[in-house]
Chain A
Amino acid sequence: MDDLDQLEAQSIFILREAYRKLKPLAMLWSLGKDSNVMIWLARKAFLGRVPFPVMHVDTGKKFPEMYKFRDEYTKKWDLELLLGDCPPVEDIDPTLPPAARSAARKTAGLAAMIDKYKLAGVIAGIRRDEQATRAKERVFSPRGSGHKWDVRNQPPEFWDQYATPHEPGMHVRVHPLLSWREIDIWRYIERENIPLVDLYFAKDGKRYRSLGDQDITSPVESNAVTVAEVIAELETSRTSERAGRAMDHESEDAFERLRVAGYL
């Protein structure tokens, strides 16, 4: 087994644990590359099907290409799609810096969906290498009432034994891609031939490395037009993946505050 086989086997194990232990369960589908890989892994785990709904928390500000992709692949992959919307930015904590405040809309939208469907488990595609705060996450990350992430009081997690909720009103965020790196995701996309929104590929010398809301995501300089070229580019890149995400850079703790409140 090479490293991608090992990552794949571990993610399948995690998805099967979640499906067994957390009911009702749903998977977040941001329409980005990582969540497409996650759906792909679910189909591997469950032999071609995704036996739980996928949720798109829609900020209403995604790129048109993303909505088109969503509608096309919901059908192609036979997904049960749950849509949720987000409150207007005026309803969000005004002490957050502007981009973080905008991003926090998604947290509120997600919280509403979790409550509406009384979810015990939510599968999300975050990775440790994306952001230092995410590096501290667990594979199964229990969230208390109000969906808060209590980073000082995380459960022990070892030997592939995961925490399951122990109080009404709690839910668990499940992170099957936590150990994957950005380049692993791309190598797996290449190996498995997983479809993506074409915003990830260069047009006029720019491409998106990470996809968020249109107004708080910016593209990077790039000439990579194929998956192989993206991989080659990443092998030499020294900048971080989320460099184009405004809310990560506004203040020292903006992203930490977002995550504690339930952001991904």
Chain B
Amino acid sequence: MSTSIPAPQEAATPIVIVGHVDHGKSTLIGRLLYDTDSLPEGRVAQIIESSKKRGLTIEWSFLLDSLQIERDQGVTVDSTRIPFRLGERQFVIVDAPGHRQFLRNMITGAADAEAAVLVIDANEGAQEQTRRHAMLLRLIGIRHVIVLMNKVDILDYDQHKIEKAEREVTELLRQLEIEPTVFVPASAREGDNIASRSDRMAWYKGPTLTEALAQVPAPSSRADLPLRLPVQDVYRFDSKRVVVGRIERGRIRVGDEVVVGTHGARARIATIESWHTAPQVAAVAGQSVAVTLEPDVIPDRGDFLFPASDAPLRAARIRTRLFWLRQEPLRVGESFKLRLATAEHQVTVAAIDSVVRLEDLTEHPAEEVPPEGFAEITLAVSETMLFDPFLPGTADGRGVLVDRNQQIVGGAPLVGVAESVAGRNAIHPTGSGVSLWDRAQAKGHRGGVFWMTGLPGAGKSTLARAAENRLFARGVDVSVLDGDTLRAGLCSDLGFSEADRRENVRRAAAVARILAESGQVVIVALISPTIADRELARQIVGEGFHEIFIDTPQATCEQRDPKGLYAAARAGKIAGFTGIDAPYEAPVDPALRLETTQQGSDETAARLASFIGDAIRIDNAAGRQRS
């Protein structure tokens, strides 16, 4: 190789800036870059122009808010990374949005940070997002936290007032077992104690922000910990089987003996394969390697290679912390894939052990984890898995929950093995290894539940069957669950009391969910007279539930009376008949409303079929038409 190889450099240290919206994160970063002369040519002029256009003098946050919506709305919607240099040291500043609904963007930026700057408006003190972000810093394991008490100019740089605000923050962080490295009293807008020492706070003897950043320790090496090499893939090139993956900790040497995954086969590292490098006999944490094993055992993706002397834990029930990223609550019984390094395990939420109350960061028992909430939960795994408990500064125990649509819905730092308990909690539902995406690919459409509600005689079953025919002809895997058919079989033990009717709805919804999860389109035709009934169904089915209201006036239904039920009810032979002596609550905001009196029944069925077709993306069902 050439002799002009550049001198090796340290990798950049990622620093995340977090804090409540409007506490001054973006201004701080703008000021930091400006004061340290880190801005590219022309950028300042660009910002002045962009600010002027919006009637502002100079808005530092425009440096980071690169999207038009961000500049116009004055909120950062997604995290940004900016390279930044202090002397010889490289940093990457990660600006995470403070707005509540953008928690998932914050975690995206913050998860790999080596240190955090928590920006707090010294006048307002800690706010909801301050607490939320501090909680997240704890859960993702960031130990080095610099607290920047911002906007101290409004407190007249007064030592007494500023220190009082600091004490409140210290108290809050203590609950999270976060001990800040330093408090820096500062004004980002005025430039006090950012890159240069403020002469308006002679009482403050600590570091400026740049001095505090320079003191952030370099990441500790993972090379001296026991080996963990999660298998990423196995290739077969040139009749040689090669196991690839990134060493998460420890090191390997040719000749080392390792244990392979849960099945525990032993093998030796026979060779380390590479292209365009000097021959390798050893590799350390952080490297992406390719190895051959002797004997030639075949590991699966997700198997760990580890030393026999230092195995991971093994369990089928795991206690974990959770930061929940979905906008809907989480309940016991929900199933997910737990991704841990390259492994995927089928898990079910067996218990919600406690939920964090954000007002005061205390833990309480609860039935559900609220949207974007923090909790401790117990996961039941479909089969025993290997894991290491979460350890800040390493990749250990970094669990992530993924839903049926392959969306990441939560972070789950694994705490340890959970005690097994008897009773209801001992249920271990298993989940399918076939994803909804796989099924949709195979069938050419997505599954879904189309829940038709309406008065008796409104035409639900007739329409459902007509739509079924049409959809089937277009290649859709479709079935109908109607009230009478269910009552003839699955629900034959049920009567018409309120409790039995509700149970009828519950069973219909549970069956519909199973079918929809198998990729089918399910049309349910059920009076389901109350809003509560349909809400129950929606909850059971979850995603992919569509409410359809068959809006036929009662007079028309009674006139049609295909089963003679209205006549019987009028004659007093049936009690509690919906529409006569039991109420029907029409849907407030159905996904589709069909009036059966305006149009011919063919046209109405066509509308229903086309609505369903759109919802399941039938356009992708190419070449599957049945004649």
Residues on A lying within 8 angstroms of B by beta carbon are 1-10, 12-13, 16-17, 19-20, 40, 43-49, 128-129, 132-133, 135-136, 138, 151-152, 154-161, 163-169, 179, 181, 187, 190-193, 228, 231, 238-240, 252-253, 256
Q: List 23 A-B contacts (CB under 8 A).
A: A1-B286, A3-B8, A3-B9, A3-B11, A3-B90, A4-B8, A20-B232, A40-B276, A47-B274, A48-B276, A133-B66, A151-B67, A152-B69, A154-B108, A155-B104, A155-B408, A157-B108, A159-B398, A164-B406, A165-B437, A168-B441, A238-B41, A240-B40
Closest Cβ neighbor of A259 among chain B residues: B67
- The docked-state distance in angstroms from the alpha carbon of A8 to that of B69 is 34
Residues of A within 8 A of B235 (CB): 46-47
User: B620 touching A168 by the CB < 8 A rule?
Assistant: yes
User: A151 touching B42 by the CB < 8 A rule?
Assistant: no
Give the shortest distance, in Å, between B106 (CB) and chain A (any CB): 9
Residues of B within 8 A of A155 (CB): 104, 407-408
For chain B residues 62-112, which have a beta carbon within 8 Å of chain A? 64, 66-69, 77-83, 90, 92, 104-105, 107-108, 110-112
User: B108 touching A161 by the CB < 8 A rule?
Assistant: no
User: A1 touching B287 by the CB < 8 A rule?
Assistant: yes
B307 at the interface (CB under 8 A from A): no
- The docked-state distance in angstroms from the alpha carbon of A253 to that of B66 is 9
Give the shortest distance, in Å, between B114 (CB) and chain A (any CB): 13
Residues of B within 8 A of A238 (CB): 40-41
- The docked-state distance in angstroms from the alpha carbon of A8 to that of B275 is 13
Closest Cβ neighbor of A1 among chain B residues: B286
Residues of B within 8 A of A40 (CB): 276
User: A193 touching B617 by the CB < 8 A rule?
Assistant: no
Given contacts A133-B67, A169-B617, A253-B68, contact A44 B405 (CB under 8 A): no
- The docked-state distance in angstroms from the alpha carbon of A262 to that of B78 is 18
User: B407 touching A9 by the CB < 8 A rule?
Assistant: no
The 5 closest A-B pairs by CB, nearest first: A132-B66, A158-B111, A2-B8, A156-B104, A166-B405
Residue of B66, B111, B407 with highest tally of chain A CB at under 10 A: B66
User: A163 touching B406 by the CB < 8 A rule?
Assistant: yes
B117 at the interface (CB under 8 A from A): no
Residues of B within 8 A of A228 (CB): 4
User: A44 touching B276 by the CB < 8 A rule?
Assistant: yes
User: A163 touching B4 by the CB < 8 A rule?
Assistant: no
Closest Cβ neighbor of A132 among chain B residues: B66
User: A138 touching B108 by the CB < 8 A rule?
Assistant: yes
Interface bin, chain B: 35 or more
- Mark contacts of B221-250 with chain A using CB atoms, 8 A cut-off: 1 yes-contact digit, 0 otherwise: 000000000001101010000101010000
Give the shortest distance, in Å, between A258 (CB) and chain B (any CB): 13
- The docked-state distance in angstroms from the alpha carbon of A26 to that of B290 is 22
- Mark contacts of B399-420 with chain A using CB atoms, 8 A cut-off: 1 yes-contact digit, 0 otherwise: 0101001111001000000000
User: B411 touching A44 by the CB < 8 A rule?
Assistant: no
B582 at the interface (CB under 8 A from A): no
For chain B residues 284-310, which have a beta carbon within 8 Å of chain A? 284, 286-288, 290, 301
A-B pair number, CB within 8 angstroms: 178
Residues of A within 8 A of B233 (CB): 16, 19-20
Given contacts A9-B286, A43-B275, 12 further A-B contacts (CB under 8 A): A9-B287, A9-B288, A44-B275, A48-B275, A133-B67, A136-B67, A138-B108, A156-B105, A159-B400, A161-B400, A161-B408, A187-B6
User: B112 touching A158 by the CB < 8 A rule?
Assistant: yes
- The docked-state distance in angstroms from the alpha carbon of A240 to that of B274 is 35
Give the shortest distance, in Å, between B305 (CB) and chain A (any CB): 16
Residues of B within 8 A of A132 (CB): 64, 66, 80
User: A13 touching B68 by the CB < 8 A rule?
Assistant: no
Give the shortest distance, in Å, between B16 (CB) and chain A (any CB): 11
Residues of B within 8 A of A10 (CB): 288
Residues of B within 8 A of A13 (CB): 232, 246, 288
Residues of B within 8 A of A169 (CB): 617, 620
Give the shortest distance, in Å, between B495 (CB) and chain A (any CB): 42
Given contacts A136-B67, A151-B77, A168-B617, contact A239 B108 (CB under 8 A): no
B2 at the interface (CB under 8 A from A): yes
- The docked-state distance in angstroms from the alpha carbon of A7 to that of B83 is 15
- The docked-state distance in angstroms from the alpha carbon of A10 to that of B288 is 7
Given contacts A1-B286, A45-B288, A48-B275, contact A157 B77 (CB under 8 A): no
Given contacts A16-B232, A256-B68, contact A166 B276 (CB under 8 A): no
- The docked-state distance in angstroms from the alpha carbon of A164 to that of B408 is 10
User: B68 touching A252 by the CB < 8 A rule?
Assistant: yes
B137 at the interface (CB under 8 A from A): no
User: A157 touching B408 by the CB < 8 A rule?
Assistant: yes
- The docked-state distance in angstroms from the alpha carbon of A159 to that of B425 is 30
Residues of B within 8 A of A46 (CB): 235, 237
User: B242 touching A47 by the CB < 8 A rule?
Assistant: yes
User: B287 touching A5 by the CB < 8 A rule?
Assistant: yes
Residues of A within 8 A of B408 (CB): 155-158, 161, 163
Closest Cβ neighbor of A48 among chain B residues: B275
User: A191 touching B5 by the CB < 8 A rule?
Assistant: yes
B481 at the interface (CB under 8 A from A): no
Closest Cβ neighbor of A166 among chain B residues: B405
Residues of B within 8 A of A138 (CB): 108
Residues of A within 8 A of B41 (CB): 238-240
Given contacts A135-B66, A167-B437, contact A190 B81 (CB under 8 A): no
Give the shortest distance, in Å, between B543 (CB) and chain A (any CB): 11
User: B237 touching A47 by the CB < 8 A rule?
Assistant: yes
The 8 Å CB contact of B286, one of A6, A159, A164, A190, is A6
B188 at the interface (CB under 8 A from A): no
B502 at the interface (CB under 8 A from A): no
User: A136 touching B78 by the CB < 8 A rule?
Assistant: yes
B440 at the interface (CB under 8 A from A): yes
- Mark contacts of B308-349 with chain A using CB atoms, 8 A cut-off: 1 yes-contact digit, 0 otherwise: 000000000000000001000000000000010100000000
Closest Cβ neighbor of B9 among chain A residues: A3
Residues of B within 8 A of A240 (CB): 40-42
- The docked-state distance in angstroms from the alpha carbon of A154 to that of B301 is 27
